[in-house]
Amino acid sequence: MPVLHDPVHILLMNEYFPPDTSATAKAAAQVAEYLAVNHRVTVLAGRPSYDPSERHQHDLLRREVRGNLAIERVGSTAYPRFQMRRRVANYLSYLALAIPRALTLPSDIVLAMTDPPIEGIAGALVAGLSGRPFVYNIRDMYPDMAVGGSIVRPGSFTARWETMHRWALRSAARVIVLGEDMRDRILAKGVEPSRVTISRDGILIPENLPSPDNPVAREIRGDFRFALVHAGNLGFYGAWQTLISAVRMLESEGVGLVFIGEGAMKAQVQAMAQGSPAVRFLPFRPASEIPLVLSSGDMHVITVKRGLEGVVVPSKLYPTLAAGRPILGVAPEESDVVRIIRRAGCGIVANPDDPTSVAEAIRGVLHDSEHLQIMGRRAREISFSYDKVKQLEIFSGALEDAAREGKSPSRKPSSSAIA
């Protein structure tokens, strides 16, 4: 990354940060460490509560400094995340302590992510009240996700939430999103296209790939003649019933589906698959074995149910591409998953509402090993477009542009009034 003549001080607001193990914690850490090479970065987080690798005692404020990176943790509650009421307590206690602290922390720019779900609104409020530029990095789209995933019912509460969220979007000098489908959703909410930047969850591309015949891959495949693998979180965003129904149709043809991982929907997905020998569930493997897991199976499944395209952008797509495995995309045509598959020819796609569509798509490649190999090579080739360093450079560039505009005499501070 080229050294700028005018480094800036960035305040990054996100409740989760390592030793939290959530995806947003990892993303926040990667962004903060990258930006801290040439800028000052202060992260404002809460006490570790998301399956943390270590826990902290209850301090009103805890501060750690590593060169240009400072990590401040307010003394929020740290209940386990599995009970919604306790998770909400973590959210509210974090916001109650983080917003006043953010207002007192000097910085040139405010960068907010999406934990808790109204963090973007909080970041816009802090930026507006203090006259600083605001950059909004949307990891998950709320309240769209909460409604689409049936976490909350649509009504006056979600309508007000959406109004406040649109105000936050309008307040942002830059909105950084994870994919084209998410960008489309943001533009539909009235945000100027010039202020929306796509910076994907890129990956470090491995130079060498393990053999698909390694012991872990053989264990995952079992006795399935054609193995579909879903490695990752079993959340509410997937078209699980469609996928399992399709595999049931193919049981007699030797097709099997292996789920590797955990998630909020795992029990429900297991219930959907009850009695089917073609569906297996395995726990997460150690991090050191992830390349071996990604090398397994004839195809890897990426699924997004209809209505959540652009709300959720599955980051596991990119390491799967880098592993050179063909993709089965069970997702709407408008989703990033399907767009990338069609653009690169790195897999097959099917309707997330139609099990027969999924079954027929699988049958089309079931006995075509040459086609599968071609799709795997194309997956590997397209993965270099999503190199992590390239994506972080895009992220940094958007933030630096917002900072420069914020220093321009012609720029007016964001209004703190919520329309």
Which among 121, 89, 302, 225 is positioned nearest to 294, based on CA atoms? 302
Q: So what's the pLDDT on residue 313? A: 82
Q: So what's the pLDDT on residue 211? A: 86
Query: Could you give the CA distance from residue 119 to residue 161 in angstroms, rounded to a whole number?
Result: 12
Query: Could you give the CA distance from residue 337 to residue 244 in angstroms, rounded to a whole number?
Result: 19
Q: So what's the pLDDT on residue 208? A: 87
Token pair 């509410």 in the structure block, residue: 236
pTM of the model: 0.86
SS3 214: coil
Instruction: Report the DSSP beta bridge partners of residue 43.
Output: 12, 71
CB 288 within 8 A of CB 210: no
Residues 6+ away with beta carbon under 8 Å from 197:
174, 175, 176, 177, 394, 395, 397, 398
Helix (H) or strand (E) holding 280: strand 279-282
Query: Could you give the CA distance from residue 367 to residue 180 in angstroms, rounded to a whole number?
Result: 33
β-pairing verdict for 61-66 and 69-74? antiparallel
Give the start-end residues of each E strand in 115-246. Answer: 134-137, 174-177, 196-198, 226-231
Counting as low any pLDDT under 70, the low residues of the chain are 1-5, 407-419
Q: So what's the pLDDT on residue 407? A: 63
SS3 193: helix
**Order of strands across the sheet with 196-198?**
61-66, 69-74, 40-45, 9-13, 109-112, 134-137, 174-177, 196-198
Which among 25, 310, 28, 30 is positioned nearest to 144, based on CA atoms? 310
CB 234 within 8 A of CB 264: yes
DSSP state of 109: E
